[in-house]
Amino acid sequence: MKGIDIRNLDFSYGEKWIWKDFQGFFPEGEVSVLMAPSGRGKTTLLYLIAGLLQPTEGSIVYPRDTRKCAMVFQDGRLVEQLSVEKNIKLVNSRITTAQMADCLRELGLAGMEKKKVAKLSGGERQRVAIARGLLAEYDLLLLDEPFTGLDDEIKERVIKVMKARTAGKTVLLVTHDRQEALLMGGQIYDQF
C-alpha cells in the first residue's frame, strides 16, 4: 500500500520536543483526519510533511519521487491587497476563468473574482483560502483547521464541495471538531 510513511520522526523547537520517535502512515488517495488537543503538534506535523520544517531526526517517505503539495492554513494567509483571482493565480497561474468561477460559485463566492481580499469578511476570506487550495495543482492537500470561522450551514456546504473535489486525492485534515471529521470521512487518527 502506498502512502506517506513517517519513520522515527523527532522534532523540537529549541529545548521543547514536539515529536519524539513518531511513527505514522497515511494512505495515498484517502482522507486522514488528525485529532488531538491543542499543543500536541498536529500543525507542526503538517508543516513537516509539507517541507516547511525539517525533522531533527527520522524520515518522511512519500508515495512518489516528486510531491505537489497544497496547504490551507487556519489563518488563510492570503495577500490582502490582491483580488480573489490574483490570490488563486499565485498557486496556479494556468487555472482558467471558468474553473475558478465554478469553484467560487460552489463555495458561495460567485462573482467575487475581482474583489480585493481586504474587503471580504472573515468567512469569505477562509473560503477563498480553501478555493485556492482546491484549485492548486497537488497530489497532497494539507488542511489545518480550514473551517475556522465558518457557520454551520456554510461549513457543511464547503465540506461537501471539498469532498467532491478531493475524491481520490491524498488529504490530511487537522481539526478539533469531531463533527467536521465525520463529515469529511476517512480515517480518524486521535491517538497522538
Mean pLDDT over each residue of the chain, to the nearest integer: 92
pLDDT of 43-69, one tens digit each? Answer: 999 999 999 999 999 999 988 766 789
User: In the prediction, which pLDDT does 24 show?
Assistant: 92
Q: Are strands 57-61 and 3-13 parallel, antiparallel or unpaired?
A: antiparallel
What distance in Å separates the CA atoms of residue 161 and residue 130, rounded to the nearest whole number?
10
Where along the chain do its domains lie?
79-137
Helix, strand, coil % in the chain, rounded to nearest 5: 35, 25, 40
**Which amino acid is residue 29, in one-letter code?**
G
Q: Residue 134 in contact with residue 162, Cβ under 8 Å?
A: yes
What pTM was computed for the model? 0.91
CATH class of the region 79-137? mainly alpha
Residue 192 pLDDT exceeds 70: no
Which helix (H) or strand (E) segment holds residue 182: the answer is helix 178-184
Q: Residue 14 in contact with residue 74, Cβ under 8 Å?
A: no
Residue 127 pLDDT exceeds 70: yes
Grid cell locating 79:
495577500
pLDDT of 158-190, one tens digit each? Answer: 999 999 999 999 999 999 888 899 999 889 998
Span of 37-46, 87-96, 124-133 with lowest mean pLDDT: 37-46
pLDDT of 114-126, one tens digit each? Answer: 999 999 999 999 9
